[in-house]
Structure 1
Amino acid sequence: MAKTDDLILFAQVVEHGSFSKVAELNSLTNSVVSKRIARLEEDLGVQLLFRTTRKLTVSEAGKVLYQGAKNVKQATMEALDAVSGYGEKVSGHVKMSVPTISGDLVLADAVAEFCTLHPGITVDMSLDNRFVDLIEDGFDLVIRTGYLEDSSLIARHLLDSQWVICAAPSYVTRNGRPERPQDLIRHNCLQYAYQMTGASEWEFIGEQGNYMLHVSGSFSTDNAGALRKAALGGYGIAYVPRCLVYHDIMGGQLIDLFPEQVGKRLGIYAVYPYTRQPSQKIKLLIEHIRKRYMEISHYFCH
């Protein structure tokens, strides 16, 4: 009969692709990990892993077992997390991914503060705009902007992020101020290539509902900071989340050209895998992040 802890160990080996990494995670030696996987193979009468000096390959039988072993690991972690909430001290590790703008603006500070408030918790936070695969990449929590369709995930709405169209006073002086959205067709529009709807499709509020305007320009980037710098330099008109340029608009370094007409507003969500019992540490972290967003909610929306 395969032992539960051996199944969990096997799931970790498949996920990390390395005996040594799993040995380190569990404070074991490589030989102990190797022996326990060999014992599992012996108990089941099948080879689960093919080992070479370069890499580990999972056999067909191993892939089938991994699906079940992964569920065992998840259920065990959920059970431990559910109980850990009864103690005063929460502990454990959280792997999370956040968008670059929110990461720079509020989340890096908020999450580091959370770790200080809860000394038993460690967090590995990556800044990434792509919608990562929570299950495949092993994330416990992801903060994302935009609509979520995957029903295997739970999303908690934190706040909305309004977009703005802005330019430096020097650009307006040289090229004139567009009075209505259609005037943008004659301007150099700097494009944020990360957008889901396409960098050159800018959304406006119309009498019969929102509409898209196709713009063009000489500069496009997938980095929000680079786009902000180009706008501040007077090189064109930018279409960006309000929070990115809030201080620039307040300080007069950028002009909000269409304050009431931009139609793009996206929700910011805390997303985590669907489980019946979200862990206490994830609940606390989401609540901490939500509070910090609320403190600067005026950066995101009027």
Structure 2
Amino acid sequence: MPKTDDLVLFAQVAECGSFSKVAEINSLTNSVVSKRIKKLEEGLGVQLLYRTTRKLTLTDAGRTLYQGAKNVKQAADEAFDAVAGLGESITGQIKISVPTISGELLLAEAVAAFCGQYPGLNIDMSLDNRFVDLIDEGFDLVIRTGYLEDSSLIARHIIDSQWVVCAAPSYIARHGRPQHPIELKQHNCLQYAYQTTGASDWEFKGEHKNQVIKVAGNFSTDNPIALRQGALSGHGIAYVPRCLVYDDLMQGVLVDLFPDQVGKKLGIYAVYPFTRQPPKKVRLLIEHIRNKYLAIQHCF
């Protein structure tokens, strides 16, 4: 049976892709890290890593083990953090980047309230839809919506954001209500330019797998508030996060056209640089933000 600390070490190697980086984090030598991973492989009877002079990559068995090992690592990190950070003072600065939707709807007030709890703390919050570089640009924390591929970062899942296809009653009155997603091809579809899957590729649930409908329209923007306003004014159909238009849907000024068919759901994550123990002030801010999201999770 593998030791828990060896699983944690393996998870670190998988995330860093380097024995030397993991050795530095844990104040070990490269040879000790290598020997412990080799011993883990021998105990399991499988090869976990492909080793070359340039990099380490996971084998199929390594990827499978990593899925469980990273949960062990996260639990261990949280336990260490709960003890090690008790004496830290909540002062200084935090630089944070958040998407415009989250910032304007929720996080501006939430972060300001957090600063009010800790008078010695200053927070610089940037509202930016692009995927900022945490390390190069000096961010302590980023709230991201979408998919995380950079293994040098740590991501904590906060909540999932369901998207909706909606239009104003005035637009429906003039152009009719599409009954099936494929009919969107005959409509003016307002497009949100900031989408990793493409502004004109709208995803819907299919019988066996999700299908993508390629739409067209006369207006696109990278600003979700502008997109919402275009839909409210009756100029077309929009595909947006439900939290952006939740109140509009409740008030009937926008109509959810396909409430059971939209396939797009993106995770919202708190992301910070890879480190064994982020500062207590960052951990507290993440928990504060998470609680604010969960308090209005019905909107998502």
Answer yes or no: same fold by TM over 0.5: yes
Name the structure 2 match of 1:103: 103
Q: Which amino acid aligns with 2:263?
A: G
Moved over 6 A (4+): 81-84
Contact 2:153 2:272 in 1 (8 A): yes
* Cα distance in 2, alignment partners of residues 114 and 103 from structure 1: 14
Residue 223 (1) aligns with residue 223 (2): yes
Structure 1 segments unaligned to the other structure (5+ residues):
1-80
* Cα distance in 2, alignment partners of residues 89 and 243 from structure 1: 35
> How many Å apart are 1:85 and its aligned residue?
3.3
Name the structure 1 match of 2:194: 194
* Cα distance in 1, alignment partners of residues 220 and 136 from structure 2: 31
Q: Secondary structure at the match of 2:230?
A: helix
> How many Å apart are 1:118 and its aligned residue?
1.1
Q: Secondary structure at the match of 2:154?
A: strand
> How many Å apart are 1:83 and its aligned residue?
9.9
Q: Secondary structure at the match of 2:209?
A: coil
Deviations 1:11-47 (A, max 9, x none): xxxxxxxxxxxxxxxxxxxxxxxxxxxxxxxxxxxxx
Instruction: Tell me which structure has the larger Cα radius of gyration.
Output: 1
Q: How does 1:83-94 map to 2 (within 5 A)?
A: 85-87=85-87, 89-94=89-94
Identity percentage of aligned residues: 70
Q: Which amino acid aligns with 2:258?
A: F
> How many Å apart are 1:247 and its aligned residue?
0.4
Task: Let me know the Cα RMSD of the aligned residues.
Answer: 1.5
Contact 1:204 1:211 in 2 (8 A): yes
* Cα distance in 1, alignment partners of residues 290 and 106 from structure 2: 10
Name the structure 2 match of 1:163: 163
Q: TM-score, normalised by structure 2?
A: 0.71
Q: How does 1:203-242 map to 2 (within 5 A)?
A: 203-242=203-242
Name the structure 1 match of 2:44: none
Q: How does 1:153-302 map to 2 (within 5 A)?
A: 153-300=153-300
Name the structure 1 match of 2:50: none
Contact 1:84 1:90 in 2 (8 A): no
Contact 1:84 1:280 in 2 (8 A): no
Contact 2:190 2:239 in 1 (8 A): yes
> How many Å apart are 1:91 and its aligned residue?
1.2
Deviations 1:64-92 (A, max 9, x none): xxxxxxxxxxxxxxxxx999933374112
Contact 1:163 1:262 in 2 (8 A): yes
Deviations 1:237-261 (A, max 9, x none): 0000001100000000000000010
Q: Which amino acid aligns with 2:225?
A: G
In 2 relative to 1, CA 173–133 (structure 1 residues): closer, same or farther, beyond 3 Å?
same
Contact 1:95 1:125 in 2 (8 A): yes
Contact 2:168 2:254 in 1 (8 A): yes
Q: Which amino acid aligns with 1:188?
A: N
* Cα distance in 2, alignment partners of residues 84 and 278 from structure 1: 10
Q: Which amino acid aligns with 2:183?
A: D
Q: Which amino acid aligns with 2:201?
A: E
* Cα distance in 1, alignment partners of residues 262 and 83 from structure 2: 47
